[in-house]
Amino acid sequence: MAKLTDKFIRDLKPRPHKTKPGAFVPYRVYDDAVPGLHIQVSKGGRKNWTLAYQWYESRKFLKLGTYPATNLMDARKRAMKLQGKIEAGENPIKTVQPKVLTS
């Protein structure tokens, strides 16, 4: 767990693979302020906010947005709101409205 700040998140870079030179591996950095909230850094350097939670016997992950479009404060607020739904017995994956693409 880490004390996430905007500067810390901006400075996150893809991690090199231990045995394959020139390759990178994705990784997660968990927020210590909101349980389950983490930012995932992809092989290409893209940063996604994700909420990890337990739903009955199964571990679930819900994407909250990409960084910097979704900043740290927005991700924390959304994660806390969803955690409230989880504690109330609602599965947040069932309640999140999908985005409708228009052409």
Q: Is residue 98 part of a domain?
A: no
Q: Is residue 36 part of a domain?
A: yes
Q: Is residue 48 part of a domain?
A: yes
So what's the pLDDT on residue 54?
83
So what's the pLDDT on residue 99?
57
Q: Is residue 28 part of a domain?
A: yes
Number of domains forming the structure of the chain: 1
Q: Is residue 42 part of a domain?
A: yes
Confidence of residue 7 (pLDDT cuts 50, 70, 90): very high
So what's the pLDDT on residue 1?
60
Mean per-residue pLDDT over the chain, rounded:
85
Residue 51 main-chain phi, psi, to 5 deg: -110, 120
The 37-41 sheet, strands edge to edge: 27-30, 37-41, 47-55, 58-67
For residue 41, is pLDDT > 70? Answer: yes
Residue 82, CB half-sphere, CA atoms under 13 Å: how many? 28
Q: Is residue 16 part of a domain?
A: yes
> What sections of 6-46 are H helices per DSSP?
6-10
What is the per-residue pLDDT across 60-77, written as a single tens digit (0 to 9) for each?
888 999 998 989 999 999
Structural domain that includes position 63: 6-93
Task: Kindly report the CATH number assigned to the domain that includes residue 39.
Answer: 3.30.160.390
